[in-house]
Amino acid sequence: MEFFADLIRTSPLFLEAAYITVKITLVAVTLGSFIGLFFALLKISKSKILNKIANLYITIIRGTPLIVQIFWIYYGLSSIVQISGFWAASLALAVHNGAYIAEIIRGGIQSIDRGQMEAGRSLGMTTRLAMRRIILPQAFRRIVPPMGNQFIIALKDSSLAAFVTIAELFNVSMRLASSTFKDIQFYSIAGLYYLILVILFSFLVHKLENKLAVGSSGMK
Amino acid sequence: MIKVTGLNKHFGDLHVLKDIDMEVQESDVVCLIGASGSGKSTLLRCLNFLEQAEGEINIDGRIIDRKTMDLNILRRDVGMVFQHFNLFPHMTVLENIIEAPIHVKKIERQQAIAEGKELLEKVGLGDKVDCYPSVLSGGQKQRVAIARALAMQPKLMLFDEPTSALDPELVGEVLSVMKELAQEGMTMVVVTHEMGFAREVGDWVVYLDEGRIIEVAPPEELFNNPKNQRTQEFLSCIL
Ligand SMILES: Nc1ncnc2c1ncn2[C@@H]1O[C@H](COP(=O)(O)OP(=O)(O)OP(=O)(O)O)[C@@H](O)[C@H]1O
Ligand SMILES: [Mg+2]
């Protein structure tokens, strides 16, 4: 019962923190998608050098822990420019997610039949136009499920921003836990908030998938 | 109208097209026949510059230079129809057709729609305007693909086995659209296994074997008394 009392008592704090968690995640995934698209295009380009650049980026990001990347960007960037903790953490998460999203987008693009690009080119389209009008819209539909998955991972990973003093969910629960010594209690509450956010978001992705599925069959 | 001299194409070590010389006159229908792997598709793709090859391609008396000319602009004048249709599945039938006129030729949307609907009437699909390709039969898809290519008002149409992926009962509807096009004077290069079509509509039949043009003749001549022994063997296998 005490759990519920605490849950209710701390809800203004946690809701505020949940809002920051969602904000970091949204910024990270949005920026990360642009970064991902950029590196996906490098990876499928015909230029060997561009391929290598993309591979290097993906290897470094996948080969080092996220917390190290967050510290790199947080301490590295703040020694050069003035940057808030929020933006440093979001940026770090964006750079991190960009590598995974690049692979998701590349997979999506390469899953589209080669004949589609060929048909576009045969109509006089430039590669760029065919990519934008023909390939990417089709790849998008296939990318939605794995992107939803990546978003969920990003949401949970954003808890590491706690260690660069961002008052997001995990950070708030850490502070409450250490000031009250009710560790299990407050970490469980944080877990509950994450769980609710993930379920909410999964539901939204599912709806989007259904909506996109309608588009390509039957009549308009 | 299009003249190919000394065309050679390699895929790595594989020599796919060997010293191809070929000429297509305006309003001609040229049928390309040959065994699988003989290089028919590759030749067609070279004519549309989708494939890079050594040799000279001459269009309307101009030599095409990859380095100085914009191939995208050249491609607008050459329509291509594929074995597997390659319609854009995320667009309706009409959207498939108006896509290139609007985004490549920069035609007014209203005009593109009007012309697109007209073309769909012409291929007998006026009632399918708002359908997605996924609900069409193979024959209908291929007719949409033909209309899509025609929407760019090409001077030359290339067909790569347009009926090979179709059920036998659907072949006729596609061939009759192609026949109509030929009668209107469209210049066409058609890779086909439909000897009946080649005989009836073709002005020339080109027999390709292992990347080499073995024989070129009007259909009657090539089918009835082929000069080359390899042509004879090939024809006896398929006729
Ligand atoms: N992109 C490519 N890379 C490597 N080899 C290729 C490529 N495209 C075609 N080839 C090879 O070139 C040869 C000719 O192929 P092509 O598709 O032109 O033959 P085709 O006459 O159209 O055959 P089919 O009747 O089966 O369509 C084949 O041996 C094929 O394996
Ligand atoms: Mg072929």
Give B208 Cα–ligand 2 centroid separation in angstroms: 12
**Average pLDDT over every residue of B144-149:** 97
- Say yes or no: A210 contacts chain B, CB-CB below 8 A: no
Write out the DSSP string of B198-229. HHHH-SEEEEEETTEEEEEE-HHHHHHS-SSH
Closest CA in chain A for residue B71: A124
Give A107 Cα–ligand 1 centroid separation in angstroms: 25
pLDDT in tens, B20-66: 999 999 999 999 999 999 999 999 999 999 998 899 898 887 888 87
The DSSP bridge partners found for residue B191 are: B32, B160
* Structure-token match 């980026």, residue found: A57
Based on C-alpha coordinates, what's the Rg of chain A?
21
Q: Binning pLDDT at 50, 70 and 90, where does residue A215 land?
A: low
Q: Is the pLDDT of residue A188 over 90?
A: yes
Q: Is the pLDDT of residue B239 over 90?
A: no
- Say yes or no: A76 contacts chain B, CB-CB below 8 A: no
Q: Is the CB of B38 under 6 A from ligand 1?
A: yes
Pairs of residues, one from chain A and one from chain B, whose beta carbons lie less than 8 Å apart: 77
pLDDT in tens, A10-34: 899 999 999 999 999 999 999 999 9
pLDDT at position A219: 52
Q: Is the CB of B40 under 6 A from ligand 1?
A: yes
pLDDT at position A6: 86
**Average pLDDT over every residue of A107-127:** 95
Shortest-distance Cα residue to atom 6 of ligand 1: B11
Q: Is the CB of B41 under 6 A from ligand 1?
A: yes
3 state SS of B63: strand
**Average pLDDT over every residue of B137-154:** 96
**Which residue in the set A115, A123, A218 is minimally distant from B135, CB to CB?**
A218
Lowest pLDDT segment from A78-82, A122-126, A159-163, B131-135: A78-82
pLDDT in tens, A49-74: 999 999 999 999 999 999 999 999 99
pLDDT in tens, A33-52: 999 999 999 999 999 999 99
The DSSP bridge partners found for residue B4 are: B22, B57
Q: Is the pLDDT of residue A216 over 70?
A: no
CATH code linked to domain A2-219? 1.10.3720.10
